Amino acid sequence: MDAVTDRTIHAGRATPEADWLACTAVREAPGIRATDLVPAQARAVVVSPHPDDEVIATGGLLSQLAYAGRALCLMAVTDGAASHPGSTRWPPRRLQRYRPLEQARALQRLGVAGAAVHRLRLPDGGLQAAHPQLLDHLLQLLRPGDVVFTTWRLDGHPDHEAVGEACASAAARCDARLVEVPVWGWHWSRPQDAPMPWRQARRVSLDAETVRRKCAALRLHRSQWLPDPSTGAPAVLDSATMTRAARPFELMFVHDTP
């Protein structure tokens, strides 16, 4: 199956970053400033399926918004307890405690330690079935004029796609603006046949210091960077993830204002 229909995340098969940087749609996506994307009177709400997704997807944006004094709110949908199946080094109960701490340290490194974080503790790997609960939480949190950042609805990870779908529904019902960001989509798809909505793509430029903060924050998710000696599994995140994190921009799909 081609990349348009087969969105499976295959270990070790990441599309080279050079291919994306040479992609015309990526290079020519219109620029937008973080402070224009989230105006002074608006609130940025970042909905993260797992601890670390908010850094990978929008770490630079978050840092810029925090330094600009914008109102920020984060929703941590799961605690990422299913990241190491069968592991005795990282069993689910340890991950439930440890990954939120990693997330808190990473947010502090980005300069957004004061942002409200709503922890739903829904089941990692089970968010498609938990759609009603997630949607209910979102409808209680969102308000008109919010700008909602979340994972792309075709991102290739079931949890990412479920969160994207729930956010799209909630944003439409709450008169909020939806912004989707690919995370694993960069990994499995290819520039020549990517199903990405390029007409909605916008680039948020990141200065060198913001990129450094983002990469440093991502490294604080240590459980995801270390191989697991108890199972022999490689690290969940790999060098391709850090290479993408070090881009001097973040690309996101910005939907029309409500």
Domain positions in the chain are 17-254
> What pLDDT, on a 0 to 100 scale, did the predictor assign at position 258?
61
Q: Which residues pair with 75 in a beta bridge?
A: 47, 118
Determine phi and psi for 51, rounding to 5 degrees.
-60, 130
> What pLDDT, on a 0 to 100 scale, did the predictor assign at position 177?
98
> What pLDDT, on a 0 to 100 scale, did the predictor assign at position 5?
37
10-residue averages of pLDDT along the chain (258 residues): 40 84 96 97 97 97 97 97 96 96 97 92 97 98 98 96 98 98 94 91 98 98 95 93 96 87
Query: Sheet containing 71-76: which strands, arranged edge to edge?
Result: 116-119, 71-76, 43-48, 147-151, 177-181, 249-254, 201-205
The CATH superfamily label for domain 17-254 reads LmbE-like (3.40.50.10320)
> What pLDDT, on a 0 to 100 scale, did the predictor assign at position 257?
67
Whole-angstrom Cα distance, residue 207 to residue 226? 28
H helix or E strand, kind and range, residue 112: none
> What pLDDT, on a 0 to 100 scale, did the predictor assign at position 4?
33
Residues 6+ apart with CB under 8 A from 118: 73, 74, 75, 76, 137, 141
